[in-house]
Structures are given as C-alpha cells and as structure tokens.
Amino acid sequence: MKDFPSCFGENGVQVADSSSSNSGKNAQNLVTCIYQCRIRGRNCLITVTWTKNLMGQSVTVGVDDSCNQSLCKFEIKPWLFTKRKGSKSLEAYSCNIDVFWDLSSAKFGSGPEALGGFYVGVVVDKEMVLLLGDMKKEAFKKTNASPSSLGAVFIAKKEHVFGKRVFATKAQLCADGKIHDLLIECDTSVTDPCLVVRVDGKTLLQVKRLKWKFRGNDTIIVNRMAVEVLWDVHSWLFGLPPAGNAVFMFRTCQSTEKSLSFSEDMTTTNSKSQSFGFSLILYAWKNE
C-alpha cells in the first residue's frame, strides 16, 4: 500500500497502514502535517515532517502537486549550527518558491514538533503561503513577503503513537482552534477485547466484539461537529507478531451528506471529498 497521503482530490483519499515499510522499532518519532494551497492556479500540497531520532530533531518541507508528484523537497537539520536559520529558493510552475526558517531558539518537548521560538515560512511570488511558529513578526520582516489572500489550509496530520493498552495524543479536530485530548484504549490480551475512544476524558465511542469488528467506521460528535472515526486493528488481533500497529483516522465532516466506503486496505473514497475538512491519521504501535 502507498504511504500517506496518496492523493488528495476529487477521487478521494488513500490512507495506508505503515507496517509494510516500518516496524515498531524503526517507526521514528515523527509527525507529518499536510497543507493545501494554490500555486499559479493549481492545487498543491505542502508537506511538513518533523522527525526526532538519536541525532536530534529535523524538519522536511516538500511541495507536491495534487496527485502527490514531488515538485521540490529539502530537509532542515537544526542541530547543525549552520542550518538553524536560513532560506532556500526553489522553482515550480515557472514561479519562485522560497522557504525561510529560524530554529535557532526553537523549543522542543518530548515530541518531534517545535513548540515555540521558531518560524518556518513558504513564500510564493513574494506572498506568504504558509507560516508556522510563533515568530510571525520576525518571519515577515525577514522575508519581506505580504500575507497571502489564499493561504494554505491545514488538511491532514499523521503521527505515530506508542503504548501497551492506552494511546494518547492531542489534536485540533474542529475549526474553533481548541486542542483536544484524544485517547484510544484497547486491551487485546483479554478474551473479548473492546475498543474505546475518549475525547477530553469523555467516552464517545465503544466497539465491542472487536474480533468481528476489527475494521469499521462510526461517527462521534465533538463540539457539535461530526467526526468520522475509522479503525483497522487487524494487526493487533491477528498479526504476526500481534504487537504490530493499528491505524485510526479521525476526519471532520463539513456537510451531513456522506458517501463512505471502507475497504480492507484502509482506502477511503468519497465522490465529494471536499465535504470533509481535516483528517488525523494515527499509527498506534503496541509496546510489549
């Protein structure tokens, strides 16, 4: 199966289980964020991947067309002194794409993403299409760019989570900007395991008879917004070894009209995929 994301467009979104290319030990502590933007009238994707390993943190910025064909890509390694701030010019669709960054004062927590004291900006034809971080004033001063009237939209996030029975993360599921505590609980050592999903401590989904319902989908309500939940825990229950990873998707719905099919390889299709807003994909690895 293809890695995430395969293609964002009118034909749908493909989400793949990463176990074919990673193992629990090799699944680095990484977070991938996908932003959709317009470059010269074309739909494009900006992929920002934060990685943490024994060498330290790094961030990779890539620009792809709407079918995941790479236009440009480069990696920033802030633990190298010369890479902590800088810029790089690229070209695609006969226009200039400039990436600026300052990670010299970046603050990191236990995860790979920078928490503050930084900026990463993508400028297209002197317009700031994407700006990450809390140093926005410094970023605009450095780039001499103007705010874009059609800025990038945050459409998807992928991350790996680890645990024995409980898997937790934080996510901005709704447009109100609130960060929610998201918890998935599943004890596969019992005879009849149950899958539980909690948001901000409140149980919103329970899947019983999980061995019969190891793949499926349901809808929960978070702050009056419908959130589609899709799961595939086949590897947890029947995989060799059973400590492989499960895959979960949380997808916000912008309309009540849904046409969803969920196939065996975690491919979701929707002829009106624009009706969906933000997608969070979690690869949940069991630590034994």
- pLDDT tens digits, 214-235: 999 999 999 888 999 999 999 9
**Reading across the β-sheet that carries 195-199, which strands appear in turn?**
166-171, 180-186, 195-199, 202-207
Class of the CATH-defined domain 164-286: mainly beta
Let me know how long the chain is. 288
What are the residue ranges of CATH 2.40.128.180 in the chain?
Answer: 164-286
Q: What is the pTM of this model?
A: 0.79
Task: Return the higher-pLDDT residue of 34 and 177.
Answer: 34
Task: Return the higher-pLDDT residue of 67 and 188.
Answer: 188
Residue 73 in contact with residue 91, Cβ under 8 Å? no
Structure tokens given for 88: 């790089």
